[in-house]
Structure 1
Amino acid sequence: MEQKNNLFYRDTWVDIDLTQIEQNIISIKNTLPKGKEIFAVVKANGYGHGAVEVAESAIRSGVGGLAVAFIDEALVLRNGGITHPILVLGASRPQDVPLAQKNKLTLTVFRQDWLVEAEGWLDSSIPVKVHVKIDTGMARLGVRTMEEFLAMTDWIESHKGIELDGVFTHFAKADEDDQSFMLEQRDKFVQYVEALPKKPKYIHHSNSGATIKIPDDPTNMVRVGIAMYGLLPSEEMKNEMPAGVAESFSLHSRLIHVKKVEAGEPVSYGSTYHTKEAAWIGTIPIGYADGWLRRLQGADVLVGGVRCEIVGRICMDQCMILLPTEYPLGTQVTLVGKQGTEQISMGEVAAKSETIQYEIPCIISSRVPRRYFREGKDTKVINPLLK
């Protein structure tokens, strides 16, 4: 896929396959009971894929709503023309309730003193929808006792301007083979739900891992994040993903310099690498300021469908690779994705980084442009540097 216009001027970019995201959602949706809604999680700029673009694709695939981490992320979607329901999963300030009302955002609540303070800010003529979060074992956000939970839900029911739209919890170990703690959390959550005299519209606990592991549980909504992008919640789940789910994110660069160096020559800062024999060394314009971190020294990239090692320390804006032969300037280099029969998966990069797949696309910085494709045709380029 060649660049057709000058929307970026450094040969490093991300390609996002929107059709694949849509297929991933449909594949996951097909495993769920009829009537169970999906809320697509597009926080952290759509896990680095682009929040508005992913949200649009998720809506095309029939999701019931979207979820983000905080109000600012929700406003990015509203400003991008998204009108679907948006659930803010994290904490919001009471004084920002009018903003949520104006933009029809659903807020997460987990403290009664928050409700009391928020009442002083809200416009009672425009009800703000809330989801009460229950802490069943994550120890992050959420009410921790039944007494606290029922006091909050009773308060909401008795006050105009606040509408109980949902209750939820979050699993701490849903992506592990051992499901005992997840099921313990689920059973505790069910006790809270059963104690409600009147059930809200949405009852949900499943993230991607739980959505795939227990698709037929009695809740009526799931929150799908990492799996929607074709990535694994954990390596333990690599054989459990629905058929048709695949990665939509690929990362590319180009050779900007190729030189022949003699045996024993140092490469990059600190001279941590020396050539073992006379070799061709290529330079590509991507570095740790782009999210391609120093710990990826020694990782492979693809050039001409062949694996080539990153040698020497990764610099802020560039890094060097060991080539099997001389390649022309401008030759494409793939850091994540496919070339011919070879592929460097997000899982491989995560393993080399000693982290999880979530982290890799999220840390590819905004100075790396995103190109979007649907059915093989380019739709747009997002380059925040040139806005």
Structure 2
Amino acid sequence: MEELQNFRPTKAVIDLKAIQSNISNLRKHLHSDVHIMAVIKANAYGHGDIRVAEAALEAGATMLAVATPEEALHVRCHIADTPILILGAVPVSFAPYAAKYGITLTVFSTEWLEQLAPLAPQFEKPLRIHVKVDSGMGRIGVRTVEELRAVYDAAQMEHVVVDGIFTHFATADDEETTFYEQQLATFKKLVASLPTKPRLVHAANTAAALVKEHVQFDAVRFGISLYGLAPSPYVGEHLPYALQPAFSLETELVHVKELHNGETVGYGATYEATGDEWIGTIPVGYADGVLRGLANQEVLVQGMRAPIVGRICMDQIMIKLPKKMTVGERVVLIGKQGNDEITMQEWASRLNTIVYEIPCMLTTRIPRVYNA
């Protein structure tokens, strides 16, 4: 069967120029010798990993980071030479593939390295690893000088290169800095204990890269703000430059009807008209990631806000229109229209969550369309 176009009008529009602007502005903010590692895990936070990676690299990023072996292999199929770091734990069975395809692994266990030892001499190319330090995040990583030295020593084997060492901050996006400073001191202590400093030392996540200049080290990992989103309200108020959101979500009216006093809308008949009202239906729902908790959230139509009414369905949503409108009218759920804008942060506040969840929860049933 021939490849079909998208017939449903619901789509996510990804602005690649916004991605590039966010990278270019970060490049100006950093010291000239600091690498930018574009974090494109989780399908680039729902934006589309390959197109985002290509745009980020063109704008000045020099490395990529993902979370899983599968993500790394998918990227490597499309991008041949750029270094890719897997930030999470990986099974030893993946190490031969990592060596073959130039994928850098995160390592934090002597047991893992002991299992690697009989495999390493067979590698066609050197396996690069970055040692992870748990300075207080409490996820994965070595926690003491002794653990670090044991891992470092165990990694001294044929075809294995300790290329980097890194940690991750738990509170870099907070105004309070006590715990952050403790983590930084711990990390510096462990790095200083190594007999030889690896090529890349990195600690700064997005928040630290934007508001903590003294932790740039050799590279920064640029995640959420690559996509134009602030890691927290505090960081959003202290940005060194304006971020450009890259994601908008839009659809069209597929049906318009007039309700009269007492008539109802949706499952459970939870919404009841209090007079003559115009109701529009849009083809998007919780199967697309527009969760039922977004009931009463507003959308934009003709630059005006229109509230969602009734329960959000799997595939459809009803909205109360400010006036009679025609089928085919463009509706914006996230993004700008006219003089107004609905942000991902607005959705996050409505759902009592963080902005990171919003693009990730919007499913692949929504096609991503790119503006270059």
State TM-score, norm by structure 1.
0.93
Deviation digits for residues 225-249 of structure 1 (CA, Å, limit 9, x no counterpart): 0011000101222222232421010
Deviates most, 140-149 or 291-300: 140-149
Sequence identity, in percent? 44
Q: Which residue of 2 aligns with 1:329?
A: 327
How much is the aligned-residue C-alpha RMSD, in angstroms? 1.3
Distance 1:82 1:368 in 2: 28
| Distance apart, 1:62 and its partner CA | 1.4
> 1:14-53 alignment to 2 at 5 Å?
14-53=12-51
Code of the residue aligned with 1:260 in structure 2: it is E
| Distance apart, 1:33 and its partner CA | 1.2
Query: Is 2:38–2:63's contact at 8 Å kept on the other side of the alignment?
Result: yes
Unaligned stretches of 5+ residues in structure 2? none
Query: Is 1:95–1:121's contact at 8 Å kept on the other side of the alignment?
Result: no
Q: Which residue of 1 aligns with 2:129?
A: 130
Code of the residue aligned with 1:346 in structure 2: it is M
Code of the residue aligned with 1:16 in structure 2: it is I
Q: Which residue of 1 aligns with 2:355?
A: 357
> 1:101-180 alignment to 2 at 5 Å?
101-122=99-120, 123-157=122-156, 159-180=157-178
Q: Which residue of 2 aligns with 1:298?
A: 296
Distance 1:193 1:236 in 2: 29
> 1:268-283 alignment to 2 at 5 Å?
268-283=266-281
Query: Is 1:124–1:160's contact at 8 Å kept on the other side of the alignment?
Result: no
Q: Which residue of 2 aligns with 1:62?
A: 60
Unaligned stretches of 5+ residues in structure 1? 375-387
Code of the residue aligned with 2:142 in structure 1: it is V
Deviation digits for residues 181-202 of structure 1 (CA, Å, limit 9, x no counterpart): 1111011000001111101011
Distance 1:57 1:322 in 2: 38
Code of the residue aligned with 1:135 in structure 2: it is D
| Distance apart, 1:95 and its partner CA | 1.0
Distance 1:179 1:7 in 2: 51
| Distance apart, 1:217 and its partner CA | 2.7
Code of the residue aligned with 2:8 in structure 1: it is R
Code of the residue aligned with 2:189 in structure 1: it is Q
Q: Name the SS for the 2:299 alignment partner.
A: strand
Q: Name the SS for the 1:356 alignment partner.
A: coil
Is residue 202 from structure 1 mapped to residue 188 from structure 2 by the alignment? no
Query: Is 2:267–2:310's contact at 8 Å kept on the other side of the alignment?
Result: yes
Q: Which residue of 2 aligns with 1:96?
A: 94
Q: Which residue of 2 aligns with 1:211?
A: 209
Q: Name the SS for the 1:216 alignment partner.
A: helix
| Distance apart, 1:124 and its partner CA | 4.2
Q: Name the SS for the 1:92 alignment partner.
A: coil
| Distance apart, 1:82 and its partner CA | 4.2
State TM-score, norm by structure 2.
0.97
Is residue 232 from structure 1 mapped to residue 243 from structure 2 by the alignment? no
Alignment: residue pair count? 369
Deviation digits for residues 322-365 of structure 1 (CA, Å, limit 9, x no counterpart): 00111110101000000010100111111111111111011110
Query: Is 1:18–1:373's contact at 8 Å kept on the other side of the alignment?
Result: yes
Deviation digits for residues 156-177 of structure 1 (CA, Å, limit 9, x no counterpart): 13x1121100001111111111
Query: Is 2:39–2:221's contact at 8 Å kept on the other side of the alignment?
Result: yes
Deviation digits for residues 304-331 of structure 1 (CA, Å, limit 9, x no counterpart): 0000000111010111000011111010
Distance 2:167 2:358 in 1: 26
> 1:303-322 alignment to 2 at 5 Å?
303-322=301-320
Deviation digits for residues 106-135 of structure 1 (CA, Å, limit 9, x no counterpart): 000111100111223332442100000011
Deviation digits for residues 227-279 of structure 1 (CA, Å, limit 9, x no counterpart): 11000101222222232421010000100010001112221111222122210
